[in-house]
Amino acid sequence: MFSIGELIELSRKGAGADAQLAGDAELLEAAVGLAEVISYAQTAQAHVLAELDARGVTDRDHGMKTVSYVAREAGCARGQLRGRLKTGRALRKQFDKVDEAVCDGRVTFDHAKTLADHANPRITDVLAAAQVELIDLAEASTFEAWKRDVIALAAYIDTDGAEPDPYVGNDLHLAKTLDGRTDISGSFDAALGAAVTQAIEAKADELFKRFSHDHGTTTDLPVPPRKVLRALALHELIRDALGAEPGTGTAPRAEVTLVLHNHDITDPDGTPIPRAAADVFGCAPDLWAVIVDQMGIPVDVGHTHRLATIAQRRAIAIRDGGCTFPGCDAPVNWCDHHHVTDWHLGGPTDLDNLVALCRHHHGVTHRNGWTMTLDEQQVPHWTTPSGDHLTGQRHHRRCTDPDPPGADPPGSGPPDEGPPERATPGAT
């Protein structure tokens, strides 16, 4: 067919060429020429993929579909390969004239792909019969104008349209990045999109009020921008959906699996978990700690005995009556049980070491520079990074003691000697 080795070597040399050494005219010529090369290469790949798929080679010899096998071996994205396979099938079966035009350089692979994407079974024969006219139109138009005409023509001749598919237009993609973050992208149809948007925006409004109140309490808690509020709102909605119904006496739970390997904490995929996040996980969810050896072989599986018992949760509900952070209105059913002294550092699962905190203020308590103490009445007190002292609440009513025991008056900075009460390790 052709020497793929020579083609790869030539392409490698082209990729390694230093564009900064070329003159303006040479760069312009190269930009246009490389666009033509890419079009020919995509067409060649479409031909090869379609032939491989027709023969069933990858399934017969490797037990994999064509796209999956090539994507694995070449280390490239499957989505683009699927598009080229689809185009290759269309050129092979219906659009022979377009195939010739692409190979002759009269139109590009993008023209062929546009036809393949819009040629559904109801109108393929009509578009195939108009190949010559469509090629002539492409040679006299910009690609964007030609594509609009093809889409309009396809819609015009497909008068009946397809049977409505309730799933078309609804998709959601989740992908982990190299730094451990998660990228979420997708789209929804009009009905689902309206429901999702209204739910997120309404929850974001609630969070804005909460953050605004917290900011009024201490400037160490700024109000995030709207896009951050939407992300937090999505998380809140998910937690609400996974949690217990109000009034059942059962705290919400989200099972989390963490892997401890050489003192590093990761998720099951090996993505590192920040210590602050792990500390929050360690207080309330049904967390399973899997301990592995140097070869990554699990040697022990933790348990959930550190969790508050039903009797303890009832006692905390009676004592705290909701989130204990000043001004928070989260009900006790949606609160974590924060270990003032971390459980993994020896802190007991006793009432005098547990405090009800909503997930947001639970995370605040574990931030760097924040400390929490309990007084003799088991009332929580916080010291912020700037030295503000905050007294907790019970049943959504501020407790009377304005300062933690042993603290200087507000505005005078942190005390010289810390209070004798238990402090939260890992939150400083």
Strand partners, 300: 291
Residues shown for the chain = 428
Quote the pLDDT of residue 319: 87
Q: Check: CB of residue 114 under 8 Å from CB of residue 80.
A: no
The beta-strand segments (E) located in 170-323 are: 171-176, 182-187, 256-261, 264-266, 287-292, 298-301
The amino acid sitting at 415 is P
How many other C-beta atoms lie within 10 A of the C-beta of residue 45?
Answer: 19
Q: Are 357 and 324 in contact (CB under 8 A)?
A: yes
* Secondary structure class of 246 (helix, strand, coil): coil
3-class secondary structure, 32: helix
Gap between the Cα atoms of 219 and 387, Å rounded: 11
Contact 265, 416 (CB under 8 A): no
How far lies 425's CA from each of 251, 337, 347, 367, 411, in Å?
24, 16, 10, 11, 24
Q: Quick check: helix, strand or coil at residue 168?
A: coil
Res 424: pLDDT: 43
Contacts of 144 (CB under 8 A, 6+ apart): none
330 and 358 in contact (C-beta within 8 Å)? yes
Distance separating alpha carbons of residues 64 and 70, to the nearest angstrom: 9
**pLDDT tens sequence across 298-334:** 544 444 445 666 777 888 888 888 999 998 888 888 7
- 381-388: long-range pairs with CB below 8 Å, 24+: 381/405, 381/407, 381/419, 382/325, 383/407, 383/414, 384/218, 384/220, 384/221, 385/220, 386/218, 386/219, 386/220, 387/411, 387/412, 387/413, 387/414, 388/218, 388/219, 388/220
C-alpha to C-alpha distance for 291 and 285, rounded to whole angstroms: 18
Q: For residues 52-76, b (16+ Cβ closer than 10 Å) or e, as one string?
A: bbeeeebeeeeeebbbbbbbeeeee
Q: Give the pLDDT confidence score for residue 158 in this predicted structure.
A: 85
Q: How many angstroms separate the CA atoms of 281 and 417, rounded?
A: 30
Alpha-carbon span 251 to 331, nearest angstrom: 11
129, 197, 270 from 266: Cα distances, Å: 58, 32, 5
**409 phi and psi, to 5 degrees?**
-60, 155
Distance of CA 411 to the CA centre of its chain: 41
Tens digit of pLDDT per residue, the chain (428 long)? 668 888 889 999 999 999 999 999 999 999 999 999 999 999 999 999 999 999 999 999 999 999 999 999 999 989 999 999 999 999 999 999 999 999 999 999 999 999 999 998 889 999 999 999 999 999 999 999 999 999 999 988 887 665 556 677 788 888 888 777 888 988 888 778 888 999 999 999 999 998 999 998 899 999 999 999 999 999 888 877 765 444 444 444 444 555 655 566 666 556 676 655 555 555 544 444 455 555 554 544 444 445 666 777 888 888 888 999 998 888 888 788 888 887 666 677 777 888 999 888 988 888 889 999 888 888 999 999 999 999 999 988 888 754 444 444 444 444 444 333 444 434 43
| SS3 state at 121 | coil
Whether the Cβ atoms of residue 255 and residue 229 lie closer than 8 Å to each other: no
Query: What is the DSSP annotation of 294-356?
Result: TTS-EEEE--STTSPPHHHHHHHHHHH-S--STT----GGGEEEEESS-GGGT---SGGGEEE
- pTM for the whole structure: 0.46
